[in-house]
C-alpha cells in the first residue's frame, strides 16, 4: 500500500483536532497504519522549538526568526517522522504544515508567501501533502471558541486583524491551489464536516481502486 499524506489547516479554534481524530478512525478501517503529528512539534527537538516559538515572554522575536524556527521544527519532523512513515506505506495526518507558515508568517507577518515556500523547500525536500483540508471559519468565531482555554500562546495573543489576515490568507491559497487544498465550512456540525472530508478522501485516494 502506498503511503498517504494529508494535512489539516485552519485558524486557531477551527476544530482541526476533532476532525483529525475522526479521519484517523476512518483511515484505520481502510487498513492503514496511521501516524498523527502536530506542528510545531511531533519530535523531541520540534517540541523544544515549539516551546521557544510560542513562549509569550519572547515579545522581541523577529518575524524572520519565527519563520525559521517553524521551518526548523518542520525539517526535523519531516526527516524523523513523516518521510520514514510514508516510505513504510503509512497514512500520515499532520495538524498544520507548510500552509500555516504561508499564512501566519507569509501573510499575517507580511514576510511574503513566496519567501515562506522557498525557505520551507529546504525543510520539505520531496515530501509534499497530497491533500490539505482547510477548516474555514471567521477569525472571531475561532478565537471565541479558544477563549475557553486557560492560557493563550504568543500567536493567539496577536490582535484580531492578524487573525483575520490569516483566514483571508487561507482562502487565497485555497483559490490558488484548488487541486490540493479542500476548504470545508467549519461552522457545520462535526458529522457534516467529517462526511465531507471522507467523500473528498475517497475521491482523491480510493476512487477506481475497488476498496
Ligand atoms: P497549534 O498547535 O495549532 O495551536 P493550538 O494547539 O493552540 O491550536 O499552533 C500553534 C500556533 O502556531 C498557532 O497559532 C498557529 C501558529 N503557526 C504558525 O504561525 N506557523 C506555522 O508554520 C505553524 C505550524 C503554526
Instruction: Pinpoint the alpha helices (H) of 30-62.
Output: 44-54
Backbone angles phi, psi at 178, to 5 degrees: -65, -20
| Tens digits of residue pLDDT in 29-40 | 999 999 999 999
Bridge-based pairing state of the strands 131-136 and 34-38: unpaired
- Mean pLDDT over all residues of the chain? 95
The span from the CA of 91 to the CA of 129, in Å, is 11
| Tens digits of residue pLDDT in 121-158 | 999 999 999 999 999 999 999 988 887 776 778 888 88
- Would the CB of 46 count as within 6 Å of ligand 1? no
- Would the CB of 96 count as within 6 Å of ligand 1? yes
**Ligand 1 mean position, distance from CA 49 (Å):** 12
Residue 177 CA neighbour count, 13 Å, CB half? 14
Q: Which atom of ligand 1 is nearest to the CA of 41?
A: 2
The span from the CA of 16 to the CA of 193, in Å, is 11
pTM comes to: 0.94
Amino acid at each position: 500500500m502506498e503511503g498517504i499524506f494529508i494535512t489539516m489547516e485552519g485558524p486557531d479554534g477551527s476544530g482541526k483536532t476533532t476532525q483529525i481524530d475522526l479521519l484517523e478512525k476512518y483511515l484505520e478501517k481502510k487498513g492503514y497504519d496511521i501516524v498523527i503529528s502536530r506542528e510545531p512539534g511531533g519530535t523531541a527537538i520540534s517540541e523544544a522549538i515549539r516551546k521557544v516559538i510560542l513562549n509569550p515572554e519572547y515579545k522581541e522575536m523577529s518575524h524572520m526568526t519565527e519563520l525559521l524556527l517553524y521551518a526548523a521544527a518542520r525539517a526535523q519532523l519531516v526527516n524523523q517522522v513523516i518521510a520514514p512513515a510514508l516510505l513504510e506505506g503509512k497514512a500520515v495526518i499532520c495538524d498544520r504544515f507548510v500552509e500555516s507558515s504561508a499564512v501566519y508568517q507569509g501573510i499575517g507577518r507580511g514576510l511574503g508567501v513566496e519567501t515562506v515556500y522557498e525557505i520551507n523547500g529546504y525543510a520539505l525536500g520531496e515530501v509534499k501533502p497530497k491533500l490539505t483540508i482547510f477548516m474555514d471559519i471567521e477569525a472571531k468565531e475561532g478565537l471565541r471558541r479558544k477563549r475557553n482555554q486557560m492560557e493563550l500562546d504568543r500567536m493567539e495573543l496577536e490582535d484580531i486583524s492578524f487573525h483575520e489576515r490569516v483566514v483571508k490568507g487561507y482562502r487565497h491559497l485555497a483559490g490558488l491551489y484548488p487541486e490540493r487544498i479542500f476548504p470545508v465550512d467549519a461552522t457545520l456540525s462535526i458529522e457534516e464536516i467529517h462526511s465531507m472530508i471522507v467523500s473528498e478522501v475517497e475521491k482523491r485516494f480510493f476512487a477506481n481502486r475497488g476498496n
